[in-house]
């Protein structure tokens, strides 16, 4: 993507156009706040403001469509958007302790010929590293890593079932088979299909009556979202939908251990249930939920659901009206389409961490100041879901959406570099970001509010964050 030197509002309008949004809706947008909030080698502030704006515009557009009213005004503040991009780090328990965000082994290590990042926040990924390297703390891991070439160790960790990324510069990434395949990956790819033929005809995808009701005053009130996402990107999407009224139900296998430090942020506003797709009862429960859902959001690896018997064709057979939104790490083409990946790994792979190192004059990887690829992908996916809901309501067409962290990285590379924006401000202090009081199942806390305003109304988290698997796998009663 070609770089364009633009202001925050211009970047937001550009991203909205790329999502297929109506320019008349974008005309209702106001972006305020400093041009640079999070100083970095890349325009993290522009990415934050634009992705939050796209999600909020899509919610406003759907609200206007379901109420037959003109699109309301939308306001996005750059400080609030950037705070949301650092929400997991800004979350502050009151009177209780939050576990560490990172496993002690996770981090960057100097290999024989460069740098590699090991991601060990999940127990199975940690075990892959410790088993391969025969080391179980950061010092012994570093000693073992120093004997490896970075690319060889990356391949070995992945073959062992773990997660790793050697640091490549931009040219090195583009020259690799995975990088060449991802060269033109876009943040969002959405394909709307017409109503199916047959006796049901357009009725199969007609919006249900509960979509017409907006008594709660929230854009997504009555929308059912089945959430099969983990870590940050997917949960950020579904948290935004929930904050604007959607009934979000997160499903996990029984006993699944999510990164504990993330749960107070990523389960806010949602119900959570456990379903075992390896059992007939679990599959039956899952299929009932799919059949009555409006949206399915999945952050599993590209072929994971298909291997369980639930590819797009199977899901559509269960529910012809289902909007399917999927995200992965390295895109939907090439040798890495099904590779496990996380924000910090993608930054190492695609040249972001290397570019940060050059900009800072450091001999170590310099990543973005926040997990910006995760958060931006989450908001962009929420924008695509909102646009898909409008498409279904107004045209009776159903959309399949694909997003990826590498597509979002390509978008970030296309934005103006901060060096072109003038002198950068110092990094903000923690107390410069807005926080609000909240309640969780673990105790009270202070957290970043969901950013963006529609018609002057703030989004609201109506369900307290809590552990996984605490609810029944059923939908809330419909308000027809």
| Tokens 């790490």 found at | 329
Q: What is the Cα–Cα distance from 317 to 314, expressed in whole angstroms?
A: 5
Q: Are the CB atoms for 187 and 382 separated by under 8 Å? A: no
Which of 108-117, 418-427, 436-445 bottoms out in mean pLDDT, i.e. has the lowest? 418-427
Per-residue pLDDT at 255 exceeds 80: yes
Region 68-85: mean pLDDT is 94
User: Any idea where the domains of the chain sit in the sequence?
Assistant: 8-98+185-333+368-454
Would you place residue 246 in the very low, low, confident or very high pLDDT band (cuts 50, 70, 90)? Answer: very high
pLDDT (mean) for 191-205: 63
Among 75-89, 133-147, 185-199, the least confident range:
185-199
Residue 34: pLDDT over 50: yes
Band of pLDDT at residue 456, cut at 50, 70 and 90: confident
Min mean pLDDT across 4-8, 115-119, 319-323 is at 4-8
- Separation CA 398–CA 324 (nearest Å): 9
Round to whole Å and give the CA distance between 113 and 123.
28
- Structurally, at CATH architecture level, domain 8-98+185-333+368-454 sits in 3-Layer(aba) Sandwich (3.40)
* Alpha-carbon gap, residue 399 to 437, rounded angstroms: 37
Residues 6+ apart with CB under 8 A from 461: 239, 242, 243, 268, 269, 438, 450
Quote the tokens at residue 197: 């033929």
Model confidence at 2, in pLDDT bands (50, 70, 90)? very low
pLDDT digits (tens, 9 = 90+) for 392-409: 999 999 999 999 999 999
Average pLDDT estimate for 95-107: 94
| DSSP H or E stretch at residue 314 | helix 312-318
Which secondary structure element, helix H or strand E, spans residue 31, and what is its range? Answer: strand 29-32
Predicted confidence (pLDDT) at residue 213 exceeds the cutoff of 70 = no
Lowest mean pLDDT among 56-60, 193-197, 422-426: 193-197
- How many C-beta neighbours within 10 Å does residue 192 have? 17
- Position 199 scores a pLDDT of 46
The number of residues making up the chain comes to 480
- Residue 351, sorted as left (phi over 0), alpha (psi -120 to 50) or beta, turns out to be left
Q: Could you tell me the two tokens for 280?
A: 């007939």
* Confidence band for 478, pLDDT divided at 50, 70 and 90: low
Percent of the chain with pLDDT over 70: 94
Q: How confident is the model at residue 4 (pLDDT cuts 50, 70, 90)?
A: very low
Alpha helices (runs of H) in 396-429, residue ranges in sequence order: 405-414
Report the C-alpha gap between 83 and 86 in whole angstroms: 5
pLDDT for the residue 421:
58
CA dist 300 and 235 (Å) reads 12
- Supply the mean pLDDT for the chain: 91
Looking at residue 430, the DSSP 8-state letter turns out to be: G
Which pLDDT score is estimated for 279? Answer: 95
Which residues are within 8 A (CB) of 25 and not within 5 positions of it... i.e. 6 or more apart?
Answer: 16, 57, 60, 61, 64, 71
How far, in Å, CA of 57 to CA of 349, rounded? 32
Residue 56 has pLDDT above 90, yes or no: yes
- pLDDT at residue 414, as a whole number: 93
Q: Which residues contact 365 (CB under 8 A, 6 or more apart)?
A: 108, 115, 117, 167, 348, 353, 354, 356, 357
């Amino acid at each position: 993507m070609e770089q364009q030197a633009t202001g925050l509002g211009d970047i937001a309008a550009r991203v909205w156009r790329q999502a297929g949004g109506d320019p008349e809706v974008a005309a209702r947008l106001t972006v305020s706040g400093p041009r640079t909030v999070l100083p970095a080698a890349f325009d993290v502030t522009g990415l934050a403001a634009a992705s939050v704006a796209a999600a909020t515009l899509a919610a406003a557009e759907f609200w206007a469509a379901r109420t037959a009213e003109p699109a309301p005004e939308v306001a996005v503040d750059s400080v609030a958007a950037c705070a949301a991009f650092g929400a997991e780090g800004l979350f502050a328990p009151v009177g209780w302790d939050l576990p560490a965000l990172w496993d002690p082994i996770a981090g960057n290590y100097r290999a024989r010929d460069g740098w590699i990042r090991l991601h060990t926040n999940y127990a199975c990924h940690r075990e892959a590293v410790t088993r391969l390297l025969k080391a179980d703390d950061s010092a012994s891991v570093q000693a073992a890593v120093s004997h490896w070439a970075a690319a060889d160790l990356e391949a070995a960790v992945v073959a062992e079932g773990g997660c790793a990324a050697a640091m490549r510069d931009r040219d090195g990434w583009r020259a690799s088979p995975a990088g060449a395949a991802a060269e033109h990956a876009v943040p969002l790819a959405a394909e709307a299909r017409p109503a199916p033929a047959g006796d049901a005809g357009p009725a199969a995808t007609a919006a249900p009556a509960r979509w017409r009701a907006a008594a709660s005053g929230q854009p997504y009130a009555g929308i059912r979202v089945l959430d099969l996402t983990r870590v940050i990107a997917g949960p950020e999407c579904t948290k935004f939908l929930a904050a604007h009224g959607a009934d979000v139900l997160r499903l996990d296998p029984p006993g699944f251990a999510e990164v504990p430090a993330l749960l107070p942020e990523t389960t806010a506003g949602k119900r959570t249930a456990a379903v075992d797709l390896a059992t007939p009862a679990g599959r039956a429960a899952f299929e009932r939920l799919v059949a009555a859902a409006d949206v399915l959001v999945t952050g599993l690896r590209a072929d994971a659901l298909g291997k369980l018997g639930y590819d797009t064709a199977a899901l559509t057979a269960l529910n012809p009206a289902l909007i399917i939104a999927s995200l992965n790490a390295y895109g939907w083409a090439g040798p890495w389409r099904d590779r496990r990946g996380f924000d910090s790994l993608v930054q190492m792979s695609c040249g972001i961490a290397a570019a940060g190192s050059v900009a800072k004059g450091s001999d170590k990887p310099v990543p973005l100041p926040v997990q910006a690829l995760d958060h931006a992908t989450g908001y962009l996916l929420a924008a695509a879901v909102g646009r898909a809901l409008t498409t279904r309501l107004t045209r009776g067409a159903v959309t399949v959406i694909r997003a990826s962290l590498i597509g979002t990285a390509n978008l970030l590379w296309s934005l103006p570099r901060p060096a072109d924006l003038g002198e950068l401000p110092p990094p903000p202090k923690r107390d410069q970001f807005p926080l609000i009081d909240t309640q969780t199942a673990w105790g009270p806390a202070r957290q970043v509010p969901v950013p963006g305003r529609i018609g002057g109304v703030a989004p609201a988290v109506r369900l307290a964050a809590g552990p996984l698997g605490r609810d029944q796998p059923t939908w809330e009663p419909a308000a027809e």
